[in-house]
């Protein structure tokens, strides 16, 4: 079994759709969507405060029941301990250890899928939150007692730092798949996040934990959400829910880190780039080159979106300065579309391999789950045409939904005389993301 690393799709041979057709389809999808929005979507139609459609009351009662929350928290904690066994006592070879697969596949990609389906699941499953709440209960303190210590000026910046540390390990470090490297990263994560929770309360988990912020971001496109007035679980238009994401310091940097890193992952598979990095000779030099490339991609997304969002007239300087943050939620569909387009094969196939390895975390022939003789079903690799079509559709759907979200918010924010022209720069930027993303996805 090969090492589990989420490093792209393997080049254009996995995507047997003519590249020109993909580009034409992408341009038509975005152009038509913009024309329809510009001429048929003159007033805001998305409502973040929409009550949605109520589900039966037992759904909310079951989800909020203390026994449900306790069981889910216990499952998350037991799973963390199980993975820790593999991390510290399991095989040293990454191909035989479940830890890299849990880290790069189940946690990074599976968390997005789970959050889309059920909402911000990491709030319930996080072992750090479970330990923090348990200790607070034992000493008679509220878990939110120290929330005020978390400064508003910090915003999402701690989470941005954590997410960048994750993608740096995956894409720029010298040995991202080694058990030791992943183990060290997770140890630092646990120490920093636990310390933050005890010093700054649950607000640190909400805004500073990279995985919780990532999970919450993905959940903004979930059809399941909470009614703000009653707290009841409802079915809601995901685009309505998307607009409810709070704008905080670091919002644009958060989106740029996620989108730019995925683009760089595709770019790093180009043969000429691999030859260039390998030709450096020095491991430190190669790491610095990859780090520089990662920063360029993240910086390009952040700067281009920031400039395009502000390129409108009719606003006071302070209003224009707030636009990038207010429009940053429109990048969430694009990010999620790229995550699934880029890592779908890994989630489906490497995810199976990881679960099989998890059944025997110490590599001693255990078979408690009856998976000892299980084999991976390479369902997507066996159907490359269908796989490629699904991945391209993920990219296009993400961009169309992003355009819709950006247009609706722009109509709400921009003066009447600038509602159309004020969006042109942002549309051009999103078209660039689409073309560039598909070009990178197809390996050039």
Helices (H), 268-282: 271-278
Q: How far apart are CA 50 and CA 227, in angstroms?
A: 8
Confidence of residue 18 (pLDDT cuts 50, 70, 90): low
Which pairs from 320-328 meet CB under 8 Å and 24+ separation?
A: 322/247, 323/413, 324/251, 324/252, 325/247, 325/248, 325/251, 325/252, 326/247, 326/409, 326/413, 327/406, 327/409, 327/410, 327/426, 328/245, 328/247, 328/251, 328/252, 328/254, 328/255
> Is 314 in contact with 422 (CB distance < 8 Å)?
yes
Structure tokens at 11: 């080049």
Confidence of residue 21 (pLDDT cuts 50, 70, 90): low
Tell me the pLDDT tens digit for each residue of 205-250: 999 999 999 999 999 999 998 888 788 899 988 998 898 889 999 9
pLDDT at 415: 81
**225: helix, strand or coil:** strand
For the ranges 85-99, 244-258, 343-357, the one whose mean pLDDT is highest? 244-258
Percentage with pLDDT > 70 across the chain = 92
pLDDT at 134: 94
> Is the pLDDT assigned to residue 102 strictly greater than 70?
yes
Q: How far apart are CA 73 and CA 55, in angstroms?
A: 24
pLDDT average, residue stretch 55-81:
93
Structure tokens at 230: 């009653």
pLDDT average, residue stretch 31-47:
76
pLDDT at 291: 96
* 252: CB partners within 8 A, 6+ apart: 302, 305, 306, 324, 325, 328
Tell me the pLDDT tens digit for each residue of 382-436: 888 788 888 888 888 898 899 889 888 888 888 877 777 778 888 888 888 888 8
- Nearest 5°: phi and psi at 421? -65, -30
> Is 105 in contact with 354 (CB distance < 8 Å)?
yes
pLDDT at 284: 92
> Is 209 in contact with 165 (CB distance < 8 Å)?
no
> Is the pLDDT assigned to residue 124 strictly greater than 90?
yes
In a 10 Å sphere around its CB, with 0-12 CB exposed, 13-18 middle and 19+ buried, how is residue 333 labelled?
buried
Torsion, Cα 133 135 138 139, to 10 degrees, reads -110
Tell me the pLDDT tens digit for each residue of 176-200: 889 999 999 999 999 999 999 999 9
> Is the pLDDT assigned to residue 126 strictly greater than 70?
yes
Identify the bridge partners of residue 235 per DSSP, sorted by sequence position. 53, 224
> Is the pLDDT assigned to residue 360 strictly greater than 90?
no
The DSSP result for 148-195, as a single string, is GGS-GGGTTHHHHHHHHHHHHHHHTSS-TT-HHHHHHHHHHHHHHHHH
Residue length of the chain: 444
Least confident of 6-10, 118-122, 339-343: 6-10
Confidence of residue 364 (pLDDT cuts 50, 70, 90): confident
> Is 201 in contact with 150 (CB distance < 8 Å)?
yes
> Is the pLDDT assigned to residue 67 strictly greater than 60?
yes
Q: How far is CA 73 from CA 66, 132, 226, 429, in A?
A: 10, 12, 20, 41
Torsion region of 216: left, alpha or beta (phi above 0 gives left; psi -120 to 50 gives alpha): alpha
Q: For the chain, what is the mean pLDDT?
A: 86
Torsion, Cα 425 426 427 432, to 10 degrees, reads 90
Q: How far apart are CA 127 and CA 80, in angstroms?
A: 7
Least confident of 6-20, 196-210, 307-321: 6-20
Least confident of 8-17, 70-79, 398-407: 8-17
- The secondary structure of residue 232, as a DSSP letter, is -
> Is the pLDDT assigned to residue 348 strictly greater than 50?
yes
pLDDT at 8: 33
């Amino acid at each position: 079994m090969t090492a589990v690393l989420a490093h792209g799709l393997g080049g254009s041979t996995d995507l047997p759709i003519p590249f020109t057709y993909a580009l034409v389809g992408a341009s038509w999808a975005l152009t038509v969507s913009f024309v329809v929005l510009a001429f048929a979507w003159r007033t805001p139609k998305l409502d973040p405060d929409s009550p949605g459609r109520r589900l039966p009351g037992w759904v909310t009662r079951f989800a909020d029941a203390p026994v449900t929350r306790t069981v889910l928290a216990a499952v998350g904690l037991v799973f963390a301990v199980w993975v820790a066994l593999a991390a510290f006592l399991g095989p040293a070879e990454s191909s035989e250890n479940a830890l890299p697969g849990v880290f790069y596949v189940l946690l990074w990609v599976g968390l997005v899928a789970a959050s889309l389906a059920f909402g911000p699941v990491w709030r319930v499953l996080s072992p750090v939150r479970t330990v923090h709440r348990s200790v607070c209960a034992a000493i008679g303190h509220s878990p939110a007692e120290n929330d005020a210590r978390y400064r508003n000026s910090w915003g999402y910046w701690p989470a941005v730092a954590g997410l960048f540390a994750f993608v740096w390990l995956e894409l720029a470090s010298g040995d991202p798949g080694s058990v030791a490297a992943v183990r060290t990263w997770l140890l630092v994560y646990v120490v920093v996040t636990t310390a933050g929770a005890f010093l700054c309360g649950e607000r640190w988990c909400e805004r500073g934990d990279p995985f919780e912020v990532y999970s919450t971001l993905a959940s903004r496109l979930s059809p399941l959400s909470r009614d703000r007035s009653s707290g009841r679980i409802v079915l809601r238009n995901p685009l309505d829910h998307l607009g409810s994401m709070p704008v905080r310091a670091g919002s644009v940097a958060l989106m740029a880190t996620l989108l730019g890193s995925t683009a760089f992952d595709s770019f790093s598979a180009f043969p000429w780039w691999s030859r260039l990095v390998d030709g450096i000779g020095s491991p430190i030099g190669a790491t610095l080159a990859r780090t520089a490339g990662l920063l360029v991609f993240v910086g390009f997304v952040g700067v281009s979106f920031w400039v395009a969002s502000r390129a409108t007239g009719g606003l006071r300087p302070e209003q224009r300065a707030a636009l990038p943050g207010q429009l940053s939620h429109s990048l969430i569909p694009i990010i999620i579309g790229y995550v699934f387009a880029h890592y779908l094969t890994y989630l489906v196939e490497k995810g199976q391999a990881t679960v099989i390895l998890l059944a025997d975390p110490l590599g001693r022939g255990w078979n408690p789950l009856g998976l000892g003789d299980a084999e991976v079903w390479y369902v997507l690799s066996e159907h490359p045409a269908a796989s490629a079509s699904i991945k391209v559709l993920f990219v296009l759907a993400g961009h169309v939904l992003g355009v819709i979200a950006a247009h609706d918010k722009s109509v709400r924010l921009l003066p009447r005389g600038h509602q159309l022209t004020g969006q042109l720069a942002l549309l051009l930027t999103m078209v660039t993301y689409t073309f560039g993303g598909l070009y990178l996805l197809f390996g050039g």
